[in-house]
Amino acid sequence: MEKKLEKLKETIATLADIGGVQAILGWDQQTYMPPGAAEMRGQQTATLGRLAHEIGTSPELGKLLDELRPYAASLDPDSDDARLIKFAIRDYERATRVPADFVVEQAQVVTLANQAWAEARGKSDFSIFRPHLEKIMELTHRFVGFFPPADHPYDILLDAFEPEMKTADVKAIFDALRPQQVELIKAIAAQPQVDDSFLHQPFDEQKQWDFGVEVITKFGYDWQRGRQDKSAHPFTGGPGVNDVRITTRVTPDFLNSMLFGTMHEAGHAMYEQGVAQTLVRTNLIGGASLAVHESQSRMWENLVGRSYPFWQHFYPALQEKFPQLAGVPLDTFYKGINKVQPSLIRVEADEATYNLHIMLRLEIEMALIEDKVAVKDLPEVWNAKINEYLGVTPPNDSQGVLQDIHWSWGLFGYFSTYALGNLISAQLWEKINQDIPDLDEQIRQGKFDALLGWLRANIHVHGRKFMPQELVQRVVGSKIDSAPYMRYLRKKYGEIYSL
C-alpha cells in the first residue's frame, strides 16, 4: 500500500503545482496584466483547468482511491496520510460530477467577466457587467444540476467553501444573530455619535503604504514568502505556504481603507504561511474553510487592529507620519475608527453592522439560485435590500451592486463565510485570552509573537486537515456559536457609546 500511497501523493503534487500556476495567473490578472490580455488569459486558465480536471477525475485515480480506502481506515484518523486520502476521495467525488468541457467554459467566462466587472465598476455602469453575470448564473445553475438534489440547491455551492455546512445551519445562525445586532445598533443610534471627521482628509498615499507595511511586519507577515501590491479589490493569492501574496488599496482622503484592508489580508496570508511545510504540494494546504480563513483576517483587522491596546502602541508612530493627527487624542482616534454607522461599502463597514452586509448578500444569492430574482433586476433589488437592512441607498452602481468582485469569479456560496468568520474569531479570542492572560499588555507593547504562535500551533499548522466545525470544536470546545461575538460587541461598544 505504501507504493499506492506514494502514487497518490505524486498525483496530488501535480494537481497542487497546476493550482499554484493558476493562482499566480489569477494574481497577475488582478495586479499587472494589461486589459487586452483578458481573452488570452482566459484560454490559459481554461487549459490549466482542463488539465487539472482530467488528472483529478481520471479512472486511474478513482481506482487508486478505492484501493486505498481500507488502508486509510487502518491509519490514525488524525494522521496526515489518513486525512490526505479522506480529502482526496471527497475532492474526486465532487470533481467527477462536473464535465471537463464545463470547467473549460467556466474558466473562459469568468476571466472575461472579471475584466467586464472592473470596467463596469470603474464606470459605475451595471449594464457592462450584466451579460457576463447572466452567463455566470446560467453556469451556476448548470453546476448545481450536476449534483444530487440537496435540501436546498444553495447547499451545493456553500459546500465548496464551507464543507459539510448546510444552508439551514447558516440561516439558523443568522436568524438568531440578526435581532441581537439590530438591537445593539438601535441602542448605539440613540446615543451621541462619535466624531471621525479626522479620518476623512488628505493622507499621503506612500506614507499610508509604509505604515501598513510596518504594522504587518510586526504582526509576523513573512516578506521572504510574500509581497504586497495594489488592486481594485484587496485579496490574498499565490500558491500558498511559501508564496503568499497580498494586495491592498489606498484611498487618498480616507485612512481606513488601506489601514484595515492591509491588516485583513495579512491575516489571511499569515494563516497560509503557517501551514506545516510537510503539507506543501498536498491537498491539505490552505485553510480548513473560508470561514476559518476569515476568522484569521477579521481577528487581525478588528480584534487586534481596532483595539485600544494596539493603538496605545502604534498611534504615536501614526501621528508622526501624519502630523494632521497631532491634535487628535488617542481616545478620540480610537472611537473614530470604531464608529458605528450604517454604510454602503462592505469592506469598510464597522463591526456592529458588517454582518448585515453579509446577510443581505446571502438573501440575494439564494433568490438568484431559486430563480426568484433576475440578473437584470439586481441593481434595484440590491438598493432595496440595503435600504431595508441598513437604511442607506447607493448613489450609483459602483457603491452598490458592483462593489464586490466575487460574482465576477462565479463565487456563489462564498459570502456567508465572512460573517461565520467573525463568530469564529470571537470564539478563538476568548480561548486565546484564557491561554495568554497578558495578551492586552503584549499588544500594548507591540509584541505579537505569542498570539501568532498560538494561532500557528492551534489553527495554521493543520492546514485543511480538519473540517471547519471539527477544528473549532477541537480548539474551543464547541461548534460555531454567535454568543462570544455578541459578548465582544456589547462590551466594546458599550464602552465606546456608554450603553
Exposure letters 325-349 (e unless 16+ CB within 10 A, then b):
beebeeeebbbbbbbbbbbbebbbb
Q: What is the DSSP string of 37-53?
A: GHHHHHHHHHHHHHHHH
SS3 assignment for the chain:
CHHHHHHHHHHHHHHHHHHHHHHHHHHHHHHCCCHHHHHHHHHHHHHHHHHHHHHHCCHHHHHHHHHHHHHHHHCCCCCHHHHHHHHHHHHHHHHCCCCHHHHHHHHHHHHHHHHHHHHHHHHCCHHHHHHHHHHHHHHHHHHHHCCCCCCCCHHHHHHHHCCCCCHHHHHHHHHHHHHHHHHHHHHHHCCCCCCCHHHCCCCCHHHHHHHHHHHHHHHCCCHHHCCEEECCCCCEECCCCCCCEEEECCCCCCCHHHHHHHHHHHHHHHHHHCCCHHHCCCCCCCCCCHHHHHHHHHHHHHHHCCCHHHHHHHHHHHHHHCHHHCCCCHHHHHHHHCCCCCCCCHHHCCHHHHHHHHHHHHHHHHHHHCCCCCHHHHHHHHHHHHHHHHCCCCCCCCCCCCCCCHHHHCCCCCCHHHHHHHHHHHHHHHHHHHHCCCHHHHHHCCCCHHHHHHHHHHCHHHCCCCCHHHHHHHHHCCCCCCHHHHHHHHHHHHHHCCC
Q: Is 294 a catalytic residue?
A: no
Give me the catalytic one of 162, 265, 301, 365: 265
Exposure letters 211-234 (e unless 16+ CB within 10 A, then b):
bbbebbeebbbeeebbebeebebb
Residue 275 in 3-state DSSP?
coil
Catalytic residue numbers read: 265
